[in-house]
Amino acid sequence: MRMPTKADEILKTEKTPAPISLLTAAIVLSSTLMAAAQYGAPELAWPKTMQERGDLIPKDRKRVERIARPTTDFSKPERFETMSGGAATSRKLPNQDAFSQSSANLSFEEEETFKLGNALFRKMWVSSPSSTDASDGLGPLFNARSCQSCHLKDGRGHPPEHSTDATSMFLRLARGPATDEERAAIENFLAPNMPDPVYGGQLQDKAIPGLRAEGKMVISYQDQPFTFPDGTEVTLRKPSYSAADLNYGPLAADTTVSPRVANPMIGMGLLQAIHPADLIANADPNDEDGDGISGRVGLARGTRLDNPVIGRFGWKAQNASIREQGSEAFAGDIGISNPLVPRHAGDCTEAEVECLEAPNGVQERLGDTEAPDPVMELVTFYSENLAVPARRDVGDPEVLRGKEMFYTSGCVACHTPKFVTSRKTGNDAHAFQLIWPYSDMLLHDMGEDLADGQVVGVASGSEWRTAPLWGIGLTETVSGHTFFLHDGRARNLEEAILWHGGEATASRDAYAALDKKDRDALIRFLNSL
């Protein structure tokens, strides 16, 4: 029997109405694939099933629309505001393990599955051949030996910062298409862009014994002063990135480099359960309402190589599902092949001959990849069910004032406060939950200061998916740092706000125009999430 959800309770009581290889040329150019032109236009003709919430009866649909509408009353907390992840919210005392708790509404059997997935998420892979059963296949070139190595305590990655350890951050490598085959792959969403011909889709700074790592990431910072209208001065740091100690020759002249820190893992299953209609409804690619915000839906091929679907995960919304996101990370970050990305040599290219010739960890009795379906299913279930911690201090007067400043400054134009997830999901724990991610999951142009110049699928070099804000106030508690944005350049939440540009310029300027007391209140609100 399905347990009642928070959304059910509200409705009851409410009074008022890759970088992947090209697979094969046959797949890329198959006549069964839909022409890209049908999906490439800004005015995408979405199927009716994706534009309407068919999981709801008309009466419930109207009530859900009212529930999800941003509030205008900041005198008190909203109902269920503490429960950021609905019934799945973790109510355990926040500590270093705050992001590692399971969805609170899992069954006993599902808890066991979660724990098995956790063990695999933390598993340290070793190079082949190994006497360790089903744990070999690492690399041969790689960035990390386990999922947990990047997603520290299931939280946010960080720049090296006075250390050579860049495990939770790496350089993404990409270039534009150069051949008809490559153009067809991108147009048909079979690849988000093209990898460097020698170094592949990301620079890998580690290698198994006997091989040379590809190189290392180099970061330099330049001070960039910012003065608030009230005269307060702060110093931002503007980063630049390059690759050094390249062991296999130079990067291609047109290869771009873009840093990535690992995203926190909480609430991913709930984000996956948001109905497509709610994401499409918030998109305004041509800014028809004239508010300067033109969010676009990300597109991805999906796991079945059928029609493009909505991209939800990754810094540029390049993956449609948690399974895809995890599969790409297994192959690209650790060098472990899996059913969706069956590359036994990980991100190695044809130019890296020794890497391709190294032994792999496939064991035929378990499957034809190093991490077969049972492994990926457990890791995916774990990733889907890392709970969002409960909100804190929601009734504090300063937090409520900060919430009002966040809303009236226009931040909610992209950081959509709440959704009610679909009734039809693959996991009942995620179904019909009132959630508070503070993200519209759309792509937005964030301006030249944050641009990396790297096209990823339909995302331009200056577009990024709106990062969910739930749990952001526990970053230091969980991860031991307060570095934010895709490259960790922001050393605190205020710096992260001040780096916003493009579509977020007006909101940034509205924040800057507040007096210090209200700016502090807004930061206090963010820290309560």
Query: Is 80 exceeded by the pLDDT of residue 74?
Result: yes
351 close to 247: Cβ distance less than 8 angstroms: no
Query: Is 90 exceeded by the pLDDT of residue 495?
Result: yes
Task: From 441, 446, 460, 439, select the one nearest 489 (Cα to Cα).
Answer: 446
* pLDDT confidence of residue 8: 54
| Sequence spans of domains, the chain | 108-264+322-384
Could you read off the pLDDT of 249-292 as tens digits, one per residue? Answer: 999 999 999 999 999 999 999 999 999 999 999 999 999 999 99
Mean of the per-residue pLDDT values of the chain: 90
Residue 270, SS3?
A: helix
For residue 169, list its beta bridge partners.
Answer: 261
| Distance (Å, whole) CA 442 – CA 283 | 7
Query: Is 90 exceeded by the pLDDT of residue 512?
Result: yes
pLDDT band at 470 (very low <50, low <70, confident <90, very high): very high
Query: Is 80 exceeded by the pLDDT of residue 364?
Result: yes
Percent of the chain with pLDDT over 90: 83
Query: Is 50 exceeded by the pLDDT of residue 153?
Result: yes
| Distance (Å, whole) CA 166 – CA 158 | 8
* pLDDT confidence of residue 165: 65
* pLDDT confidence of residue 164: 58
* pLDDT confidence of residue 40: 38
Count of CB atoms within 10 A of residue 70's CB? 11
pLDDT band at 35 (very low <50, low <70, confident <90, very high): very low
**DSSP assignment of 333-398:** II----SSS--TTTT--TT-HHHHHS-----TTT-SSSS-HHHHHHHHHHHHTBPPBPP--TT-HH
* pLDDT confidence of residue 206: 96
Q: Tell me how far apart the terminal alpha carbons of the chain are, to the nearest angstrom.
A: 31
Could you read off the pLDDT of 108-117 as tens digits, one per residue? Answer: 999 999 999 9
Burial class from Cβ neighbours inside 10 Å (0-12, 13-18, 19+) for residue 449 reads middle
Q: Per-residue pLDDT averaged across 47-53, rounded?
A: 86
